[in-house]
Amino acid sequence: MKTRTIVVALLVVALPLLGAGKWQEEFAKHLKVSGEFTLAVAEVMPEDSYGFKPNPEEMGFGELFVHSVMYEAATCARLADAKSPLSKPANMDKATVLKLIRDAYDFCNKVVPTLTDEQLDRMFGKAGGPQASGREVLLGAFTHTAHHRAQAEVYLRVKNLVPPKYRF
């Protein structure tokens, strides 16, 4: 009977630990795919069209990616209580933008798997304003990237270029 009680007690203590990190692992997997796909979309546009925008109100093609990955890296840094290694480039040429995309995802791909449940449970937002957990903030950045990447795909279509197929 004592052995059974000890086993039950150990399971009660251990079960919550077995799930720790699962969310981070799953999100890290999708973040890696998102980074690869973001890079693939950005690579389709020719160098001379990186400033292209379908109308004056829109960001240029390269600017979309800079805006998106700067936010992604800033979010990863914020959750990890770190400083983003990125700085906004003065030049939006293809080589610079592609390097920035790689650097942003290299950074986030290192940070996300190391985030603790405590960091992901922490609430963010202004006092008295809307609050979001670290998980929600990270999902928001992921969605933000998807939005701008889809916008970039429309830019490609306007230029009669075919975006790569989405990979899940």
| Domain encompassing residue 52 | 25-158
| Domains contained in the chain, number | 1
- Is the residue at 168 inside a domain? no
How far apart CA 135 and CA 152 sit, in angstroms, is: 26
pLDDT along the chain (168 residues), means of 10: 44 40 85 96 98 96 97 96 96 97 97 93 89 95 96 97 89
- Is the residue at 120 inside a domain? yes
Structure tokens given for 153:
């795909």
- Is the residue at 115 inside a domain? yes
Contact 94, 39 (CB under 8 A): no
**Coil vs helix vs strand at 165:** coil
- Is the residue at 57 inside a domain? yes
- Is the residue at 63 inside a domain? yes
Contact 141, 111 (CB under 8 A): no
Question: What are the E-state strand segments in the chain?
Answer: 123-124, 132-133
